[in-house]
Structure 1
Amino acid sequence: MRDRLLALLVVVIWGVNFVVIKFGLQGMPPFLLAGMRFLLVALPAIFFIPRPTIPWKWLLLYGMTMSFAQFAFLFVAIKVGMPAGLASLVLQAQVFFTLLLGVVLMGEKLRVNHFVGIAIASGGMLVLAQASLHKPGSGAVPLAGLLLTLAAAFSWALGNLTNKKILAGFPQRNILSLVVWSAPIPVVPFLACSWLFDGPEVVLSSLSHVQVGTWLAVAYLAFAATLFGYSVWGSLLGRYETWRVAPLTLLVPLVGLFAAWLLLDEALSPAQFGGALLVLAGMAVNTFGLPRRRAVAVR
C-alpha cells in the first residue's frame, strides 16, 4: 500500500509539474527558469551522490537530450502560449517517437499493438491539433507552441534511447546518480541561451527581482518533480516488474489536464476532449496490448 501511494504521489507531482512551469514562467524567462531548475538539482546533491560509472560521453548525451533539449523546447512552448494541460498530453508523444526511433536507430521490432497504438494516437493528435489551432476566441493554441512541444517529445525519446544504451552497457547504474550528475550539463547552455535570446538586462533583472512564488516554482521543479520523483520512480522500478509501474505514467496527462483546469481555468472543447481520449487510448493499446478474444466453448 505504501509503494502504491508513493507511485500515485509521483504521478500527481509530475502532472502538476506543467502548471508549476506556467507559474514559474511568469517570473523568469524560459531558458533561465530551466537553468535554475537544473542548478538546484545538481547543487548540493552532487557532493553527496557518487558519480555513475559510465563514460562522460554518455552522461553528456543524456544531459543534452533528456535535460537540455527536452525542457528548452517545452518551456519555450508554454511561454509562447501552449496550454499546460495540453502540453502534458502532447508531450506523451515521446512514447511513440521512442518506438519509431528504436526501429530506425536500434533495429528493434514493433508488435501489432504498437502499430495500432501509434495509428490511434496519431489520429488523436491530428484531431487535437485541428481543434486546438482553430479553437474560437482567445483559446486557440499557437502552432509554434504545438510544434515545440512535439520537439520536446522527440528530444525526450532521444533521451530514452540514450538511457537504454546506458542501461544495456552499464546495468548497475543508479537512476538518481544519473539525473544528478547529468544536471550540470544543461545549466551553461540554458544560461547562455537566456543571455543570448533574452538579453543581459532581462537576465540580470530577473535574478535581482525574483519573487517568492518564482523560487517556490523552481524548488518544486528541482526537488519535487526531479529529485524526489526520479528517486522514488527508480526505486519502484528496481523492486517491481516494469509492467506494474510503467503504466501508471498514463495517469500523468490526466492529472495535468485536471490540474490545468482547476488552477489555470484551462478547459477543453468537445473536439479537443475527443482527440485527448484518442491519444490516451493509443497509449493504452501500446502499453497493455490489444484485447484478446476468448475462445467460446462449444457444447
Structure 2
Amino acid sequence: MSVSGLTHPHPVSPSLTRAWLTPLELGGLGAVWGASFMFMRIAAPAFGPLPLVELRLALGALVLMPFLWRARSSFGPGLWPKLALVGVLNSAIPFALFAWAARRAPAGVGAITNSMAVLFTALVAFLFYGERIGVKRAVALLTGFVGVVVLASGKAAGESIAWAAAAGTLAAFLYGIGANMVRRHLTGLPAAAVAAATLSCSALLMLPFAIATWPAEPIGVRPWLAAASLGMVCTGFAYAVYYRLIQRIGAARAVSVTYLVPLFAVAWAWLLLDEPLTPSMLIAGTLILGSVALGQPPAARKAT
C-alpha cells in the first residue's frame, strides 16, 4: 500500500488530540496494512491476481464512497481522466503486482519492497520534476537498492524469490509516480474523496480483465473472507484512517507508519501462516527500513 500518495491541504495541530490516540492509530494502521500482505497470500492462489485486485478495488471504493459523494461538486468532468490515470498507476497495477508476488513469495517480501515507495517518490521527483534529492537521500536510495538486491538473492522453501521481489519493487516505483502525480494535479481536493475516485476508476478499468480471468473452480470461504478483509478493511477503512491522520498530524508524521508495515506483515505471516523470517529478509528489511528512515526529511524523522 502506498502511504505517501495523498496529502491534506489543511493539517491540524497535533496538540488538539490526546497524546495516546496518535500512536494507537499509527500502530493499528501498521497492523492492518501489514495484514494485507497475509490476506493476499491466502486469497491470491484461489482468485488469481486480477480478480483479487478487482475485489479489492471495488470494496475499497465502496467503503470510501461517502467521502466522494460529499465532495462530488469538486470533481468536474475534466478531472476524471487524471483520476483514472492515477488510479491505474497508484492502485490497479501495483495491487496486481503485489498479488502476483504473493503467490510466489512470503508475505514479508511484498511488505519490505512496499516500504521503498517513500524513497521512490523522491527519486521520481528528482528524475522528472527537477526536485533536488540531496546527498542523504541519494545514499538512502543506494542503500535501499542494496537491500532489494539482498532480498532478491534469497530463497523461500528452496525456491528463488527474485521475481517476486522485482514485482514488489516495480509496484513501489509506480507508487512513487502516483504520489507525484497526486501532488501536482490533484492538490486541494479532499484526500479520501480522491482515493474513492481513483479506486472506482481502477475498478471499472480492471473489470473486463477480472471477468476474463475469473477462476473456473469454486472458491472457498477462507479466500473469500481474506479478499473481503483486503478490500474493506485493509484498503477502504485503512485509507480513511490514514487520511484522518494526515489531516490531524500532517503527512510527515503519518508516513512513519511505513516503518511498521513490514514488521507487522512478517509477524502476521509467522503467527498465522507459519512463514519463517529468512536471513535475507532480515538483512534486506534492515537495509531498506534504515534507508527509508535516512531518506526522511528532518521534520519527519523528529516526528517518528
Whether TM-score is above 0.5 comes out as: yes
CA distance, structure 1, for counterparts of residue 127 and residue 192 of structure 2: 29
Q: One-letter code of the match for 1:51?
A: R
Residue 249 (structure 1) aligned with residue 258 (structure 2): yes
Equivalent of residue 108 in structure 2, options 78, 82, 85: 85
CA distance, structure 1, for counterparts of residue 238 and residue 232 of structure 2: 8
CA distance, structure 2, for counterparts of residue 52 and residue 215 of structure 1: 35
Equivalent of residue 40 in structure 2, options 21, 27, 44: 21
Q: Deviations over 1:37-65 (max 9, x none)?
A: 21222337536543372411221111111
Higher alpha-carbon Rg: 1
CA distance, structure 2, for counterparts of residue 52 and residue 7 of structure 1: 31
SS of residue paired to 1:265 = coil
- 1:44-83 equivalent positions in 2, closer than 5 A: 46=65, 48-51=69-72, 53-54=74-75, 55-79=79-103, 81-83=104-106
Q: One-letter code of the match for 1:181?
A: A
Give the % identical residues. Answer: 26
Q: How many residues align?
A: 274
Distance 1:249 1:142, change over 3 A: closer
Contact 1:52–1:177 at 8 Å: present in 2 too?
A: no
SS of residue paired to 1:183 = helix
| Displacement of 1:248 | 2.5
Match for residue 292 of structure 1?
A: none
Contact 1:103–1:110 at 8 Å: present in 2 too?
A: yes
CA distance, structure 2, for counterparts of residue 46 and residue 271 of structure 1: 41
Match for residue 7 of structure 2?
A: none
- 1:98-113 equivalent positions in 2, closer than 5 A: 98-113=121-136
| Displacement of 1:109 | 0.6
Q: Deviations over 1:8-28 (max 9, x none)?
A: 111110011100111112331
5+ unaligned residues in a row in structure 1: which ranges? 290-299
Equivalent of residue 232 in structure 2, options 204, 223, 228: 223
Equivalent of residue 287 in structure 2, options 249, 254, 278: 278
- 1:66-215 equivalent positions in 2, closer than 5 A: 66-79=90-103, 81-130=104-153, 132=154, 135=155, 138-167=157-186, 170-171=187-188, 173-196=189-212, 198=213, 203=214, 205=216, 209-215=218-224
| Displacement of 1:223 | 1.7
Q: One-letter code of the match for 1:125?
A: V
Give the TM-score normalised by the residue count of structure 2. 0.82
